[in-house]
Amino acid sequence: MKMKNLGFIVVFITFIVIAACSPRYKYQHRLKKGLESGVRYDSLFQGLYLGMSSRDFYIHCWLLNAQGLVKQGPNNFTVEYKMKHELKYPATMQYYPEFMNDRIYEMPVRFMYNGWAPWNEKLSADSLELDVLRWFKKVYGNDFIKVKHPEKGTAYVKVDGNRRITIFKQNDLYVWAYFTDMSVKQNLNDTTSQAGMIHNKFNRVLGKKNE
For residue 19, what pLDDT is reported?
A: 40
Supply φ then ψ for residue 116, to 5 degrees: -60, 140
Q: How many CA atoms lie within 13 A of 43 on its CB side?
A: 9
- Chain mean position to CA 73: 21
For residue 41, what pLDDT is reported?
A: 94
For residue 8, what pLDDT is reported?
A: 46
For residue 207, what pLDDT is reported?
A: 43
Q: Tell me the whole-structure pTM to 2 decimals.
A: 0.78
| Alpha helices (runs of H) in the chain, residue ranges in sequence order | 2-21, 23-37, 54-66, 125-140, 182-210
For residue 189, what pLDDT is reported?
A: 64
For residue 188, what pLDDT is reported?
A: 74
For residue 150, what pLDDT is reported?
A: 73
CB atoms within 10 A of CB 64: 17
Low-confidence ranges of the chain (pLDDT < 70): 1-22, 34, 189-211
In terms of Cβ atoms closer than 10 Å to its own Cβ (0-12, 13-18, 19+), residue 164 is buried
For residue 81, what pLDDT is reported?
A: 98
For residue 3, what pLDDT is reported?
A: 53
